[in-house]
Amino acid sequence: MTTNRAKTIATATTTIIVAAVLLTGLLMIVTRSTGSPESTGSDDGQAHGATEAVDLERRIAEYTSRFGEDSGYRRPPRDARRAVAQGVGLLLDGRRDQAQEQLSDVDFEIRTVTDSATGRRYAEIADRTEDAPSPRGWGRVYVDLDTPARWSVQVPHPVADQHTERLGVSVLRGSRGGVMVIAGAHRRAGREDVADVAHRTDSVFDAVCDELAERGLPGVQLHGFADESAPDHDVIASTGNGELARPEGRALADALRTRDFDVCRAWARSCPLEGKTNVQGRKAAEEGVPFLHIEFSNAVRTSRAQAARAAEAVGAVTAAWSTEPAGPRTG
């Protein structure tokens, strides 16, 4: 009797152990299959590293606070420009591991940050370190990780065009599927306007914008002007060197007008600062991609309330882009 009871207990114990092992394995499978993979930026669907919670506006402000006319700028060689642009492209294709490998070759890395104001996750593509005595000034890229990329907001003259970097963050936050490209130096850093990325094709900024245009992502580029340069206007809206974005331009101008801004519409009349020589606008026109060049007065940019209304107006355009598949237009 004792022997039979011992056998029964041993058998039951074994059964319990096997069941526990099977249950543990099942829970691991369920946990893996119901996780929250990034929609952009991962080869295997798993998150890479810890997500850092940040106020994106403050992060950009801290980054650009070091920019100055004498802060230095190193012109990137062609291979470096191509490496960063290709790394961005790989990330947009969902191949984060390969993107990181590509970017590592030029000492860039991908970090994941969560914007505390919106709860959205972004990939931050940036220099591994920016504490060097003479930073390279190659800029940053922020990519929405929760929605496929559909459009870009470009900030070529942070600090020089005061508060356009802050406006860029507001526009990025306003609609899903955005990519923000921000220059890494004051436009007068370096010699012979080498850091004026809106008018040069030999910058990381331009290489990344080219990559986005070639992928069919429409773009809006933010600039600022001194109030006395166009005293009768708050905003100058232009389609740059192309005409494909006229519908978006009209929608933007109407949205600005309803918010009490006076807008000079460069496609309808002669305006100062039309952006005809902007190289990113020219590339967009070549690729058949909509592009808007927007100049905001100093009064608009320095007023929190006015800047917020201006960003909302731009959102009338980016919100529409966020629901459309990227691609060139034929007319």
What is each CA distance from 232 to 169, 228, 238, in whole angstroms?
Answer: 27, 9, 16
Q: What is the pLDDT of residue 129?
A: 78
Q: Which of 230, 217, 284 is nearest to 261 (CA)?
A: 230
Residues forming beta bridges with residue 143, ordered by sequence position: 123, 179
302 Cβ contact list (under 8 Å, min separation 6): 162, 163
* Predicted pLDDT of residue 25: 45
Alpha-carbon span 309 to 135, nearest angstrom: 34
Query: Taking the model in full, what pTM does it have?
Result: 0.86
Token output for 321:
């882009």
Helix or strand (DSSP H, E) at 140: strand 140-144
**H or E stretch at 108:** strand 108-115
Q: In the structure encoding, which two tokens stand for residue 270, read together?
A: 């002669």
Q: In the prediction, which pLDDT does 71 show?
A: 79
Q: Tell me how far apart the terminal alpha carbons of the chain are, to the nearest angstrom.
A: 91
pLDDT of residue 43: 45
Per-residue model confidence (pLDDT) at position 74 = 94
* Planar angle of CA 227, 232, 233, nearest 5 degrees: 70
Q: What is the pLDDT along the chain (331 residues), one digit of tens a residue?
A: 444 444 444 444 444 443 443 444 433 433 333 333 345 644 443 345 579 999 999 999 999 999 999 877 999 999 999 999 999 999 999 999 999 999 999 999 999 999 999 999 999 999 997 665 568 999 999 999 999 999 999 999 999 999 999 999 999 999 999 999 999 999 999 888 999 999 999 999 999 999 999 999 999 999 999 999 999 999 999 999 999 999 999 999 999 999 999 999 999 999 999 999 999 999 999 999 999 999 999 999 999 999 999 999 999 999 999 999 888 876 5
Q: Contact 250/280 with Cβ under 8 angstroms? A: no
Gap between the Cα atoms of 172 and 175, Å rounded: 6
